[in-house]
Chain A
Amino acid sequence: MKKIVISWLLCVLALVALLAFAGHGVLPQGEELSEAQVKADFTLATADNKVVRSQDLKGSYLLVYFGFTHCPDVCPTTLLLMSNVIDELGDKATKIKPLFISVDPERDTPKIAAEYASHFNKSFIGLSGTPEQVKHAADSFKVYYSKVEDKSSALGYVVDHSGFIYLMGKNGEYLAHFPANVSDQELKQGLQHYVK
């Protein structure tokens, strides 16, 4: 009996340790983000409606940000940050594919998303798709987004969305995530650490 209790306690302690030290983030609903939940799984499109599937990008690290082109402040700031850090990485930058995925498929066609992203950095790939494709992509990254109607605004609506930058490994596995207001230095250090 004593051995069973001790074994059970050891299992609980091991689980607590795993959760404490595993990479995690907080989803907007308060749900903890764990390595096991996030994965790169999408079929989207870029300029000229060229299909881009996550499985086609295996072999590269993915640096992913979800936003929308009618976001005038945070999204450009984050993409500029990513651009600056990518440009400072040297040879490791060639191993990374930076992606901008729009959570506003109604307004952001693949062409618009691609053009928007490429103006921050020529290496950026801007992606969009059908609402279902975007939802599937967002779900795979555990990204929260929500269209908020505002008829009093000429925009018609805005899109609330998670503010994280995701780093995915060469097989689409989760490596790390960073808040959108991460410093240049912290993001650079993170990429230098994970990108081999």
Chain B
Amino acid sequence: MLNKTLLALAAMLVATAAYACGTDFKNPTVSFVTPSMGVGYATITAKDNDTLTAIRSGCCEAVELHTSTMEDGVMKMRKLDTLELKAGKPVAVTKAGNMHFMLINPRETYKPGDTVYINFTFAKAGEHMQTFTVGGGKRAKAAAKSKGHDMEGMDHHH
């Protein structure tokens, strides 16, 4: 009886994982703009019509989805609580798509090449753990171009 129960549970877990794996993340990257904030991008495609309802990560105090728009010459950023996804249609959480992930108050100092794990909750697909590679980011690019100044040794302040 116990074996059958365990088998059933295992099958449910495998089925859930298989279903959640139907959500595709293309080019997931993050970069840390300051010691207290990072920005992440990815293009998300859901297998079926779905809704992103929550984002969590042990990397930071919070990871949030934000829009970034220019309206009448004014830059505006707004938090989104959910994101609707149509089956098979990529949604660009990118600069071109006017959206980004905000990584707020990271719990450690990340370097280019590190990996950040972010968990996404979808209404239908369930939980999806996605890895994001830490890139150089714009400040690092500027610093590298500006003759040898680098991001190491920045004061860690919040």
- Residues on A lying within 8 angstroms of B by beta carbon are 25-28, 30, 67, 69-74, 76-77, 79-80, 83-84, 87, 112, 115-116, 119-122, 144, 148, 150, 152-155, 158, 160-164, 179-181
Contacts and interface: CB of A to CB of B under 8 A. Distances in A.
Contacts, number: 114
26 contacts: A25-B73, A27-B73, A28-B72, A70-B36, A73-B68, A73-B95, A74-B70, A76-B138, A77-B95, A77-B138, A79-B138, A80-B142, A87-B145, A112-B34, A116-B34, A144-B73, A152-B79, A154-B64, A155-B79, A160-B75, A162-B74, A162-B75, A163-B70, A163-B75, A180-B70, A181-B70
Contacts of A148: 76, 78
Contact of A119 (B61, B102, B154): B154
B3 interface: no
Interface size class of chain B, counting residues whose CB lies under 8 Å from the partner chain: 35 or more
A161 B154 contact: no
Contacts of B151: 119
B5 interface: no
A26 B70 contact: no
B72 A30 contact: yes
Contacts of A67: 75
Nearest to B94: A73
A67 B70 CA distance: 13
Contacts of B123: none
B141 A115 contact: no
Contacts of B146: 83, 87, 120-122
B100 interface: yes
Contacts of B78: 148, 150, 158
Contacts of A180: 70, 75
